[in-house]
Amino acid sequence: MFGMNKSIGIDLGTANTLVYMKGKGVIMREPSVVAVDTKNDTVRFVGDEAKEVIGKTPGSIMVVRPLKDGVIADFDVTAAMLRIFIKKACGSSLIFKPTVIICIPSGVTEVERRAVRDASINAGAGQVMIIEEPMAAAIGAGLPVREATGSMVVDIGGGTSEVAVISLNGIVASRSVRTGGDEFDQAIINYIKRKFNLLIGERSAERIKIEVGTAYKLDEDLKLEVKGRNLINGLPKNAEISSEDVREALSESLEKIVEAVKETLERTPPELAADIIDRGITLTGGGALLRGLDKLISNETGIDVYVAENPLDCVANGTGYVLDHMDTLRDVLQENNKTF
């Protein structure tokens, strides 16, 4: 089936896009960001290069994130971004169009799903197969998805958090909430604005989240000095942000994720729920790296929670594993004419 054809798996995320190449592993990891020149509607920069110029461009260049909440918000820009990523991955001489497995959130509509497929084909893909993100995350985290046993995965990305219970290559119960790393950053910006009268940018918020962010009370408070603009007099100002501040800022967003976990558990058949109590819950995605999130979910559900190895790569690795084991895992894919 594959012959000369290159096969790639794409984790098309709101914050980052990862590309997995059959036989090589994850070969590309770039922000899902595009800089567009509005004067002539051309794409100037994509990925890392585009992220570097955020907040530093003249009026004619607009930096856009073509995906919002895990779905395509700007079709043409997404297709242009995918085209560049596929070219980077497969080389520019696309004599053979690559076979692509691409991920989508589990809660998307038929229209949103078709948009992902069409954008991939416009970007130069040959055959396009779709896999739901929590399924790819579970496979990438090494969970036994083929067995008749319940596995629960919570995949927290930039735009969405996906909760799913998986058994026998299928999703038995799931919830998709449109909250993730981006909403965390926004919550930090809003909190600092309210508490310190200080305006900070997205990159500062992300740094605060990574360096002192926490979901659960720490034994020792972490602190970080941040610079921003004083909202009262417009001058530069410094403030010291503590991990307790961040925990307070994120409490509402984290509550949505915990609720999604609880709702999914409530909808899980009793036999599978018993398996989850024995095996625990696995966290994947960038949000899994937030300190104490495992403790918070464990505390709220009474079930052990584990962070997957390499949580950022689980979805991409899952697409790659499916490419390598097409014979046994074909039924986890959403084929062209299948509906949810």
Question: In this predicted model, what pLDDT tens digit does every residue of 61-84 receive, in sequence order?
Answer: 888 888 887 788 888 888 888 888
Is 322 strand, coil or helix? Answer: helix
Give the strand order in the sheet containing 34-37: 42-46, 34-37, 61-64
State percent of the chain over pLDDT 90. Answer: 52
- Joined tokens for residue 188: 């930090």
Sorted by sequence, the CB contacts under 8 Å of residue 53 that are 6+ apart come out as: 35, 45, 61, 63
pLDDT at position 216 over 80:
yes
Name the phi and psi angles at 110, rounded to 5: -60, -40
Q: Provide the pLDDT for residue 265.
A: 94
Mean pLDDT along residues 331-340: 54
Neighbours of 117 (CB within 10 A): 18
Mean pLDDT along residues 137-142: 94
Q: Provide the pLDDT for residue 1.
A: 39
How does DSSP assign 196-223, residue by residue? H-EE--HHHHHHHHHHH-BSS--SS--E
CA 163 – CA 320 distance, rounded (Å): 21
Which one has a higher pLDDT value, 52 or 209? Answer: 209
305 closest CA partner among 241, 262, 243: 262
Confidence of residue 5 (pLDDT cuts 50, 70, 90): low
Lowest mean pLDDT among 30-44, 152-166, 208-222, 266-280: 30-44
Mean pLDDT along residues 200-215: 91
Mean pLDDT along residues 97-126: 86
Neighbours of 163 (CB within 10 A): 27
Name the phi and psi angles at 27, rounded to 5: -105, -10
Cβ atoms of 54 and 63 within 8 Å: the answer is yes
Sorted by sequence, the CB contacts under 8 Å of residue 33 that are 6+ apart come out as: 46, 47, 50, 51, 54, 63, 64, 65
Q: Provide the pLDDT for residue 137.
A: 94
**C-alpha to C-alpha distances, 235 to 56, 208, 238, nearest whole angstrom:** 19, 21, 10
Q: Provide the pLDDT for residue 208.
A: 94
Mean pLDDT of the chain: 88
Mean pLDDT along residues 206-221: 91
State percent of the chain over pLDDT 70. Answer: 95
Mean pLDDT along residues 106-133: 86
Confidence of residue 327 (pLDDT cuts 50, 70, 90): confident
Confidence of residue 335 (pLDDT cuts 50, 70, 90): low
Q: Provide the pLDDT for residue 92.
A: 67
pLDDT at position 2 over 60:
no
Confidence of residue 163 (pLDDT cuts 50, 70, 90): very high
Which one has a higher pLDDT value, 302 or 334? Answer: 302
pLDDT at position 200 over 80:
yes
pLDDT tens column, 234-260: 899 999 999 999 999 999 999 999 999
